[in-house]
Amino acid sequence: MTLNEFADYIYELKDEFKNRDLEEYLLALYKNLNDNQIIYLNEEPSFELILCILKECFGSEPAAFDNSWLSITECPDANRLSRKFTSPDLKDEFDKMNMSALQGMEFTMEVLKFQIAELHKMHDKQLKDEYRYFGIDSETGHRWYNFDPFGNLGCGVTCMLDNDDEITIPDWSFIGNLLEDGRIYE
């Protein structure tokens, strides 16, 4: 499967599943990856396997929220917002590399904890804003544009395609990159 084919499957998720609260979805994804981490780390990641994991989380049990995550105030990749600039006139003006020292599954797990904590903090505040899909800042000052799994995953993969990401074989950081691209991409 190619990144383009993976994107087509992501765009079709809305036809196959009922949408779910994004925090709950991410907690289910966290639980899946955490519970199966030893198995996954012994497997070669692929678009097919990642798609299977993402699909499973639409109906699986979420992990319990960990209050210690509320102390997380920084996203794992501080350079993420530079990926928004995909205009041909601007696309080469910005360094779009992932600046995180974290790699693979460790990066993805930290993204999940960061995003879950952010959504938890915004639950009765910014997430009540009817105009939130035009973009809101979290309490920690991070920009958000997508607040449901379909929007986050769809915009995440669109961001990857618009940035001409040449991913032929994903690693375990792919899920974290997908989610972070989905958070910031309009």
CB 142 within 8 Å of CB 118:
yes
- How many CA atoms within 13 Å lie on the side-chain side of 126? 21
27: in domain: yes
Q: Which residue in the block uniquely carries the two structure tokens 């319990």?
A: 64
Q: Collapse the DSSP code of 152 into the 3-class scheme (helix H, G, I; strand E, B; otherwise coil) and give the result.
A: helix
Give the pLDDT confidence score for residue 168 in this predicted structure: 82
Q: Which residues pair with 144 in a beta bridge?
A: 136
Domain of residue 107 covers 3-63+100-184
Give the pLDDT confidence score for residue 97 in this predicted structure: 58
* Higher-pLDDT residue of 9, 90: 9
The tally of domains found in the chain comes to: 1
Distance from C-alpha of 8 to C-alpha of 165, rounded to nearest angstrom = 16
Of 1-5, 23-27, 33-37, 85-89, minimum mean pLDDT range: 85-89
Distance from C-alpha of 166 to C-alpha of 136, rounded to nearest angstrom = 30
Q: Quick: pLDDT tens for 21-47.
A: 999 999 999 999 999 999 998 999 999
User: pTM of the entire structure?
Assistant: 0.86
| Mean pLDDT of the 116-144 span | 83
